[in-house]
Amino acid sequence: MAKNYFNRYVWLLNTIQTHGYITLAQINEQWMESPLNEDGTPLAERTFHNHKEAIRDTFGIDIKFDKSRGYFLNDSSFDGEGSSESIYEWLLAALSVNNTIREAGDLRGRILFEKIPDGQMYLNSITTAMRVGKALEISYERQIGEKPEILEICPYCLKVCDQHWYLLALVRGRENPEIFALDRVRGTRQLHRNFKVPKGFDAGKFFDSRYGVNADPEGTAVEDVVLRVWGVQRENFKLHPLHKSQFTVVENTESEDESEKWAIFSYRMACDPELERKLLSLNDSVEIFEPASLRRAIIGHASSIIDLYGGTSNYPEDKYEPMMSRKGWWKKILQK
């Protein structure tokens, strides 16, 4: 019965989220068509309010009522900078998917999933240590197949990136926090030693200027990054910004050929190795205008790939170096 109620809570959250505003009568219409309603009875008002209270206690999400429009999810339940980064938004999205799949049981075999990344089994022990302020001993396999290291760490924060869990933690005896991939953790043990997160530490700000989860101990400088993005990727960037600081500088959509359309986006972010790997994965859909150091790094990677496959890169540094040394050189190219 408890499991059935949990599914009802998820269904109710998903229903209200989908409609934005919805009356109790409309909720009942949806309930009568739901596979969860096994006996085909209406959702009693008292039962609805019981569910509403249970959702607040269980998930921390308030369902509010507006006399003119009906029930809705209270925005103040979603804390953090931007609702898309809120833990409640993330939770609600996960619950909604769970509910949709449960209701689509007759489509098994036609809805495919990726394997859930390893490491989530340690989330409970890590979050417990974070909550009570206790150090952890972890067994960590830095390279696949190598003997795991035994490390004593102070867990600062957790972050999801590209469907993988990462932990930012300080190893005892070291000065700067490091990133640990949870799918390489082989075991955890809570220790008796207490620890405190440094005063003023803000997990959001720590990763604010980074593309991914890089934690450079020297600190990577934040720079102006300017990219020209071509074709289909142009629309993808607009729909899914590369970074929260993304700003559209100019867009050229005059050509009828989609591959010839482009847009220039600017950012304020750190040019770390993860950003380089992301840009490399986009091949010739993205051209880097600034900074020159990032452009040179990508050219270097591309040259190595050409050489690997038996080609000859012959990158003409004397041709491009003087041009790239002048900030905003790419603007003159666009005017031609």
Residue percentage of the chain with pLDDT more than 70: 78
CB burial string 218-248: b at 16+ within 10 A, e below: eebeebebbbbbbeebbeebeeeebbebbee
The reported pLDDT for the residue numbered 85 is: 44
Q: Mean pLDDT check: name the lowest of 84-88, 143-147, 200-204.
A: 84-88
- pLDDT bin (cut points 50, 70, 90) of residue 1 is very low
Quickly list DSSP for 166-213.
EEEEEETT-SS-EEEEGGGEEEEEEEEEE--PPTT--HHHHHHT-SSS
Name the band, by pLDDT with cuts 50, 70 and 90, for residue 99.
Answer: low
pLDDT at 6: 75
Residue 267: its H or E element: strand 262-270
Query: Mean pLDDT across the chain, nearest whole number?
Result: 82
How confident is residue 96, by pLDDT bands cut at 50, 70 and 90?
low
3-state secondary structure of 108: coil
Cβ(175)–Cβ(217) below 8 Å? yes
Residue 248: pLDDT over 90: yes
For position 84, what pLDDT does the model report?
Answer: 38
Q: What is the DSSP letter of 115?
A: P
Question: Residue 307: is it exposed, middle or buried by C-beta count within 10 angstroms (0-12/13-18/19+)?
Answer: exposed
pLDDT band, residue 154 (cuts 50/70/90): very high
SS3 159: strand
Give me the pLDDT at residue 24, please: 93
Q: Rounding to the nearest 10 degrees, give the CA dihedral for residues 255, 257, 259, 262.
A: 20
**pLDDT higher than 60, residue 105:** yes
5-20 residue pLDDT tens: 777 887 888 888 878 8
pLDDT in tens, 159-210: 887 778 899 999 999 988 999 999 899 989 999 999 999 888 888 888 888 8
Whether 78 shows a pLDDT value over 60: the answer reads no
The answer to whether residue 81 scores a pLDDT higher than 80 is: no
User: Where is pLDDT greater, at 48 or 215?
Assistant: 48
User: Between these two residues, 333 and 86, which has the higher pLDDT value?
Assistant: 333
pTM: predicted TM-score of the whole model, two decimal places: 0.66
User: What is 295-335 written as a DSSP string?
Assistant: HHHHHHHHHHHHHHTT------HHHHHHHHTSTTHHHHHHH
Helices 317-324 & 292-308 angle (0-180, nearest 10): 160
| DSSP 8-state secondary structure symbol assigned to residue 79 | -
